Amino acid sequence: MFIESRECTKKVVLPKATDFRRCSFVRSHSTLKTLLLCLIACEVLFGALGGLAAAQDAPSANTTEVAEVPSPQQQSGGAGKPTAVAQAQALHTGKTKKHFPGRGAIVAAPLPIVSPAIGSGIIPVLGYIFPISEKDKVSPPSVIGAAGLITDDGSRGFGLYGDLYFKEDKYETTALYGHGNIDYNLYGIGIAAGDAGLKLPLSQTGQVFRAEFLRVVKWKIFVGGRFWTGDSLVVVKPTTDTQLPPVPPDVGLNTTLRALGMRAIRDTRPNQFYPTAGMKAEFTADVFAKDLGSKYSFQSYRFTFNKYTTIAKNQVLAYNLFGCFTGGEPPFYGNCVYGVNNELRGYVAGQYLDRHMFATQLEYRLVLPKKFGLAAFTGVGEVVPGASQFFRVDNFLPDVGGGPRYELSKKYHVNLRVDFARGKNSWTWAVGVGEAF
């Protein structure tokens, strides 16, 4: 989960929407880090909130002390033999518990942020992870949390989040609210605009609210609807630069965005904090329409697939595939934004954006003694105006990098993450809570 990024060629961080991640010893159904179209300021805040719940798409590193609870189906096969999932868990588990602890846990962290766009500051984060009912041994624990944003250039904001599970994991409901203002740079639309490096300084103020309700159907698939609403105002900041990218038509206007959408997810990870086996597939679709009161009519689709494999004791290979597709007539911040949600690292979020995007990456994770860990990764992706233009070598945006991990919460094994990454023409470093995916 993206918390902060510093780009060493002095480019800007354009935060990307991030849904809050929940925690589960058995399984969780991730909330995709989708685009918060209504407010870029809230994106930073929800990224921080997501880390406290170990970021469903960004599970935290584990240690050999982790307590996991495989289901009966995971513990044994049809002939009473352990399955591959159970065997993978055994390599990473020093002891097990038969049920989720009765008491919850508070996770707090003052996360640093260093950005050439919004300055240096802090993101104070507070989360509470707990089971709604101690009698319910099936549902993942619920999460409530809050995060703030304070930087030395005047950027301010706050966010609230709740993610509740009940009825033995048959239902899930989430809600989030954010309000704030943030400054960032817009490079323009497309690969050519990103390569040119011309920056338009913008300031955006607004708020956003989202709520959703999911229910399990079959084969561990959860499906449900959701609702978005928000408003914002984007203005151009004073600048002495004479060479600037085109000013978007929605700058200077109060914009309301409202949408109805759906989310479907299947998650077979035995422990999402540090998955050692299993997979997670998720699809979201949001339809912003003028009939709902939205200024713009457009459609936003996101797909994520993650796969985890144990290759040796305390060693995991994680794979990620992400696709983004936008239809209709979105505002500039309604496009697919490269570099957000760690898709991919090594790039300033917002330098490359367009109608369509894909990114894929592979990460090696190693658990070390004394709560430490390491990760190394590489990947490739691109942004294009049309789906027919995918996979053109000249447009590829590769990355490579790695970084240390340190366990923040012994009970939930939530890690502090520092990543150093090299992109096509720049490199970045970022601080986050939980692994990248």
Q: Is the pLDDT of residue 419 over 50?
A: yes
Q: What is the total residue count of the chain?
A: 437
The region of weakest confidence among 23-37, 139-153, 231-245 is 23-37
Q: Residue 185: which pLDDT band, with cuts at 50, 70 and 90?
A: confident
Q: What is the mean pLDDT of residues 170-191?
A: 90
Q: Residue 21: which pLDDT band, with cuts at 50, 70 and 90?
A: very low
pLDDT in tens, 276-294: 899 999 999 999 999 999 9
Q: Given this model, what pLDDT does residue 119 score?
A: 61
| Higher local confidence (pLDDT), 170 or 12 | 170
Most confident of 56-65, 92-101, 357-366: 357-366
Q: Residue 39: which pLDDT band, with cuts at 50, 70 and 90?
A: very low
| Higher local confidence (pLDDT), 353 or 89 | 353
Q: Is the pLDDT of residue 274 over 80?
A: no
Domains of the chain (ranges; CATH) run: 4-433 (2.40.160.50)
Q: Given this model, what pLDDT does residue 114 score?
A: 60
| Higher local confidence (pLDDT), 253 or 382 | 382
Q: Is the pLDDT of residue 186 over 90?
A: no
| Higher local confidence (pLDDT), 337 or 48 | 337
Q: Is the pLDDT of residue 175 over 60?
A: yes
Q: What is the mean pLDDT of the chain?
A: 77
Q: Given this model, what pLDDT does residue 427 score?
A: 84
Q: Given this model, what pLDDT does residue 287 score?
A: 96
Q: Residue 13: which pLDDT band, with cuts at 50, 70 and 90?
A: very low
pLDDT in tens, 43-55: 333 333 333 333 3
Q: Is the pLDDT of residue 177 over 90?
A: yes
Encoded tokens for 393:
């070598």
pLDDT in tens, 67-125: 333 343 444 444 444 444 444 444 444 433 334 444 678 878 787 776 555 667 888 98
Which residues lie closer than 8 Å to 339 by C-beta, 6 or more apart?
5, 14, 16, 345, 347, 348, 349, 350, 351, 352
Q: Given this model, what pLDDT does residue 258 score?
A: 96
Q: Given this model, what pLDDT does residue 107 score?
A: 77
Other CB atoms within 10 A of residue 153 CB: 12
Q: Given this model, what pLDDT does residue 103 score?
A: 66
Cα 143 off chain centre by: 16
Q: Given this model, what pLDDT does residue 360 score?
A: 97
pLDDT in tens, 210-261: 999 999 998 889 999 999 999 999 999 888 888 888 888 888 888 999 999 9
Residue with tokens 């919850």, as numbered in its chain:
104
Q: Distance between CA 55 and CA 36 in Å, rounded?
A: 16
